[in-house]
Structure 1
Amino acid sequence: MEPVIAPARVVVESHLEGGEHRTLADDVLDGLTKPFKELPPKHFYDARGAELFDRICDLPEYYPTRCERAILQADSASIVDLTGATELVELGSGTAAKTRLLLRAMHEAGTLHRYVPFDVTESMVRASAHELVDEFDGLRVHGIVGDFERHLDRIPPPVTPGPRILAFLGGTIGNFAPGTRRRFLRSLRRLLGEDGYLLVGTDLVKDPAVLEAAYNDAQGVTAEFNRNVLHVLNRELQADFVPDAFEHVAFFDRDREWIEMRLRARRPQRVRVGALGLRVTFAAGEELRTEISAKFTRARIEGDLAASGMELAAQYTDPDGLFALNLASVRG
């Protein structure tokens, strides 16, 4: 009789294969040659950028992480009870610090079968996967290392009859401009099947002073985080930016209801990006946009979901109404 070989409890697939460097080069060539220069915020997050963002999350002015964690602590059991989910897929999983609250609720409900973390950092996916299978009996982890703007099709189909929750936490959905955001939500809708749920974190519209303080902390950590993208360009693309020659700018655009982060040239500058053979000039006071972070009302959330073939099944907020977790299902 052949021995029964149990399937591995941890599987990790990487789909980057050096493509992340090409994406950076393409984004820089496109963004720095526009009349209004800009870069996408995903390039903040090298090892140093990730460390700085962890520090930002602990700052007194930066409420989103604390609020989202408080919501998950209060409402994870309700979310699991409403959905009956057997599988959790998470985009931008990181260390799965907040996600553990959902996994614990699923485990206690007796429905937890598989976790699918999706992140750009392979070492983080592997480390959290092995921690979680030790923490939760019977859990299987299928990790995906990739860029969620390019590799969503690598997410495996569900392996159990029950529904899945696809989690996109942290308010990252706000980094997309409105049209791009709706296209991205439609791509997430296709991963849900007919009975799955999307759980998406959104920062809410509030007093501009509270919003601007969250991106202009007194210790200057956010400013250092913002300038770090220039260190990334210097290292990865042989650029010669002088990061201290740029000042951090963050403000709330009241018409668009989003925060913009920019880097403003303190003096006229000529920058060479060696890997691209590109020379870029900055006038004194000229700005490079590095992030938008949209803030949401319930109506905006419902409109984006409706345009993407989904509807709001439940919304959970912190006691002060600063942040929301939105649980969406497929319409009809």
Structure 2
Amino acid sequence: MRITVDRRLPADHAARALRADAESALTGRPKRLPPKWFYDEHGSTLFDRITRLPEYYLTRAERQILNARAEEIARLTDARTLVELGSGTSAKTRVLLDALTAAGTLKQYAPVDVSDTTLDRAAEAISRDYPGLRVAATVADFETDLPLPEPGPRLVAFLGSTIGNLDTEQRAAFLTRLRAALTGEGDALLLGVDLVKSPTTLIRAYDDDQGVTAAFDKNVLRVLNRELGAGFDLGAFDHKALWNAEAERIEMRLRARVAHSVEIPALGLTADFARGEDLRTEISVKFRREPLTEELTRAAFTVPHWWPDPQSRFALLLATPV
């Protein structure tokens, strides 16, 4: 078959994971919720709007680099399998698919995502538009499971600066596991990273004038209300995008306007918020070339190629196992 889907997560995985994350977040100090819960259908629609906002340069900058470098990446890697972590709709990956298929090396596309519905749709679309390509999709959480199918050489694409959602310890663990899995000759990692720049530019990218990012941030409360029967009042929170200069990262937070309590029946608990208390919903680390190269070196990668966009806002890098 030209399409296979390996479903490695149990049917109740998302429900159990949300309950665990919500309980940890709402009983902890400070309150912190992973950003993956933004992306229900409504959240995904909002994020698609975000990527087209004038303030949100990340998607455009990455695509600009991909358009300029895809043929070179194809020549450098001779990849027979393209693995994409957190593939989503696979829309931006088509630039790489076009270059690799034109080079005549690519035999298989292997998208990995936690959403089986999104993955099914993307696999069908790619299979239809690239009739000579085998699609081996995997429903998995790449933070704990790294499916890297043969044949090699394999190019693992981790785009969109999604790695910035991981803190220092999480990145080290992820890169170490990925390096251990890249055992074939010619295997490589293509990593997209957002770069440190003016805090004003960064904050605007996460707090746009139209309020789309604010709606996206608050959407996580809608998810908790729907899935856990919670009683969050979205109007009781303000969206905040803050620059953490010490950690060099943007932090998205929902800040309580007044002291109040929220019942979460599915968890059998009440979450108390003080006036001005934050629920942190995302971190987005921004990178510098030398420290990131050092992180990759510690995980036994070398970085022979680093491609910034013309304004040095974003970079793609090609890392190879040592």
TM-score range, shorter chain: over 0.9
Is contact 1:185-1:308 (8 Å) kept? yes
In structure 2, the residue matched to 1:266 is: 257
Is contact 1:166-1:192 (8 Å) kept? no
Residue identity over aligned pairs, in percent, reads: 49
What is the SS of the residue equivalent to 2:208? coil
* 1:22 partner amino acid: R
Q: Distance in 2 between matches of 1:329 and 1:176?
A: 21
Q: Which of 157, 178, 184 pairs up with 1:188?
A: 178
**Gaps in structure 2 of 5+ consecutive residues:** none
Q: Distance in 1 between matches of 2:125 and 2:215?
A: 31
Using the size of structure 1 for normalisation, the TM-score is 0.94
Question: 1:222-237 residue pairs with structure 2 within 5 A?
Answer: 222-237=213-228
Q: How many residues align?
A: 320
Change (3 A) 1:57 1:272: same
Q: Distance in 1 between matches of 2:165 and 2:121?
A: 27
Question: 1:228-247 residue pairs with structure 2 within 5 A?
Answer: 228-247=219-238
Out of 136-145 and 240-249, give the one that drifted further: 136-145
Q: Which of 1, 22, 25 pairs up with 2:16?
A: 22
In structure 1, the residue matched to 2:81 is: 87
In structure 2, the residue matched to 1:33 is: 27
What is the SS of the residue equivalent to 1:188? helix
Q: Distance in 1 between matches of 2:138 and 2:111?
A: 6
Deviation at 1:251, TM superposition (A): 1.4
Q: What is the CA deviation profile of residues 53-98 of structure 1, one whole-angstrom value per residue up to 9, with x for unaligned ones?
A: 0000000000000001111111001011111111100011111111
Deviation at 1:150, TM superposition (A): 3.1
Deviation at 1:156, TM superposition (A): 4.7
Q: Which of 120, 128, 132 pairs up with 1:134?
A: 128
What is the SS of the residue equivalent to 1:58? coil
Whether 1:323 and 2:314 are equivalent positions in the alignment is: yes
**Gaps in structure 1 of 5+ consecutive residues:** 1-7
Whether 1:10 and 2:3 are equivalent positions in the alignment is: yes
Using the size of structure 2 for normalisation, the TM-score is 0.97
In structure 2, the residue matched to 1:101 is: 95
Q: Distance in 2 between matches of 1:193 and 1:228?
A: 40
Change (3 A) 1:120 1:107: same
In structure 1, the residue matched to 2:150 is: 158
* 1:200 partner amino acid: L
Deviation at 1:256, TM superposition (A): 1.1
Q: Distance in 2 between matches of 1:232 and 1:150?
A: 23
Whether 1:61 and 2:55 are equivalent positions in the alignment is: yes
In structure 2, the residue matched to 1:3 is: none
In structure 2, the residue matched to 1:217 is: 208
* 1:66 partner amino acid: R
In structure 1, the residue matched to 2:165 is: 175
* 1:122 partner amino acid: D
* 1:15 partner amino acid: R
Whether 1:306 and 2:297 are equivalent positions in the alignment is: yes
Q: Distance in 1 between matches of 2:244 and 2:111?
A: 33
What is the SS of the residue equivalent to 1:190? helix
Q: Distance in 1 between matches of 2:79 and 2:16?
A: 37
Q: Distance in 1 between matches of 2:256 and 2:233?
A: 10
